[in-house]
Amino acid sequence: MDILFDLIIIGSGPAGMSAAVYASRAELKTLIVESSAPGGKMVKTHLVENYPGEKSITGVDLSMKMHEHSLSFGATYAYGNVIDVKQIVGGFEVVTEHGETFTSKVVIAATGTVERKIGLDQEEELVGKGVSYCAVCDGAFYKEREVVVVGGGNSALDESLYLTQFASKVTIVIRRDVFRGEIGTQEKVYNNPKIEIVKKHVPVEIMTENGVFSGLKVEHVDTKEQKIIPGSCLFPYIGSDPATAYLKNLGVLDDQGYSIANDRMETSVQGLYTVGDMNQKTLRQIVTATADGAIAAQEAIAYLNK
């Protein structure tokens, strides 16, 4: 089989786009394959305030800046949902769900993570009918209405603050009695008059009216007392899982599905690098993802030069 590209990058989040800049600038024939909008989770983030050089920028704007940069040295961009990566003589074959195949000498996987579901009945059926995993995408639909956010990490807090621009009230439900998010963000949440915090409660049932979300029944973790929080939309932000199913046959994943790579982003498969949030790591941030992408691209360049 003919090898069409030097490098295929799967995923166009900050890690993948950083890799594309370094690789294409070094004149590698580079293809980026992405199944959604460029930016990954970054494009769903309202404000980014911890990326060096940008004091405050919307996730959409930062995503578009990176996207333009990632293609500026000649990389090619293709839309597709990758379902398999196969080793072939001289490299890899990358297969999409619609049957397209691309071949390359090296692959950098950069598909990040996907939002975790709460796991309640009707949750998936109500997506678009009062259940959303993207406040930036859907928040404006709930102007002057009450919404419910589940989660206590940075994403839940950031998106709750964003939702206060539209909603008349934002109720945050957390399992513990403390947040896990950054202290500065916590202070903004506590000081926002539109936000109510329901601590030590867990979701137990989604309530509906006329086929759309109407409220969330929650239960106190100690007393088991239940109550219903009314709202027009539910925004779950309870963590994420690695988007790595397409690598399962290559033996590079741990028991949780995260990719196992060394500090050079090398996996146990020669020529396959994995980067960003899909990797085993302690900090998942835009800045760490871009660093991973740069390292992987430089290692790929060195590998090909050998």
User: DSSP letter at 141?
Assistant: G
Strand, helix or coil at 162?
helix
Catalytic residue among 138, 158, 277, 292: 138
Catalytic residue among 61, 84, 134, 241: 134
Q: How far apart are alpha carbons 258 and 246 in whole angstroms? A: 12
Active site residue 134: yes
**Helices 14-25, 59-71: inter-axial angle, 10-degree rounding:** 20
Q: Helices (DSSP H) in the chain: which residue ranges?
A: 14-25, 59-71, 135-138, 154-163, 183-190, 286-305
- How many C-beta atoms lie closer than 10 Å to residue 101's C-beta? 14
Active site residue 233: no
**Facing residues of 85 across strands?**
94
172: tokens are 């945050």
Strand, helix or coil at 123?
coil
Question: In 3D, which of 257, 213, 218 has the Cα closest to residue 234?
Answer: 213
- The residues that are catalytic are 134, 137-138
